[in-house]
Structures are given as structure tokens and as C-alpha cells.
Amino acid sequence: MKDDLKEILLTEDEIQQICRQLGAEITKDYKGKDLVCIGILKGSAMFMSDLIKRIDTHLSIDFMDVSSYHGGTESTGEVKILKDLGSSIENKDVLIIEDILETGTTLKSITELLKSRRVNSLEIVTLLDKPNRRKADIEAKYVGRKIPDEFVVGYGLDYAEFYRNLPYVGTLKPEVYQNK
């Protein structure tokens, strides 16, 4: 798999440092609140697992499975909820945990849906941010790293469901996904 990468953008150590830093910020901001961390499957699973270990306050977790890529490298803009939350978030402080924020169309739809459920507050934490790709008016409060507009895989991020198990984030060589 490593041969399919052009370069490594974030090493395992750099990712863990980001988790420690973001965890400390989130701990400070949510101490004493009724925090629900919502992971967006499947990509956020690895980041969420490492991040919540660094949040030193009471919290609960839940997951949503939402799709807008349908197997390709570009978001279709059509958001499908494949798995909704398992419990109510009314009157709770919600933190959406995402692997990458690109166009923002998927997260915009998710945030509008979750806000309609009468939450106290709603914020987003993302490991990676590609601000140059933004189409929707949405930003994450907590950002691990801003990255260039390249196709990235690893640490939960995939291409056609592969590469999620890499322990770091790298850019995929274009010849791997072009003409497929």
C-alpha cells in the first residue's frame, strides 16, 4: 500500500500530537457540560478513538453513517443518512468528529439536521481541513491541520474502501485513482 502513496503528510506521531492538542482545547471548552461526541462513519473512527482518549471530561459517544461520495473521489452533493443516532441529543452539547472537511456540503446537511433536534450547542472538530475546496458556508471550530487540495488516504480516510488502515495520512498517487 505504501507504494501507492506520493508522500506522507502526517506521521503517526504528528497525528497523536494533534489529538493531544485538540483534546486539551475540547476539555477546557466542555468541562462540566453534557457533551455528546458524534463520529461520522466510517472515516472518523480512528481519529475519534484517539481524540476522545485525550478529552478529560464526561462525555458520551454516538455515530452517524452518512454518504455523499458513493465510491468516487468527489462528493456528489447528495447526502444519504445510512445510520442515524441511537439516542436523543436534545439539550446537549454536540461535537461532530470528522476526518476531513472539504466541500462542506455533507457537514452542512448534518449540522442543520442536528441543530433541528434542539441541541444546546453544536461544533465540529476535524483532523484535516481543505479550505480551498469549500462550497458550503461551514467551518470547524477545532482543526488539526489544513492541507493542500490533494487526494489523501490513511488513518480512516479511504479510496474505494481501501487504505483506511494506514497509521498515517498520505497523498495517493493520481495514477492509482485516475481512469478507474
- For residue range 24-64, list pLDDT tens digits in order: 999 999 999 999 999 999 999 999 999 999 999 999 999 99
Catalytic: 102? yes
**Alpha-carbon span 171 to 153, nearest angstrom:** 6
Fold topology of 11-150: Rossmann fold (3.40.50)
The structural domains of the chain, with segments of one domain joined by +, span 11-150
The average pLDDT across 57-75 equals 79
Report d(CA 150, CA 8) in Å as an integer: 12
| pTM, entire model | 0.92
- Of the pLDDT bands very low, low, confident and very high (cuts 50, 70, 90), residue 174 is confident
| 161 CB-side CA count, 13 A | 3
Q: How many CB atoms lie within 10 A of CB 53?
A: 12
Q: Which grid coordinates belong to 25?
A: 482545547
Q: Among the options 14, 90, 98, 102, which is catalytic?
A: 102
The pLDDT, as a whole number, for residue 79 is 76
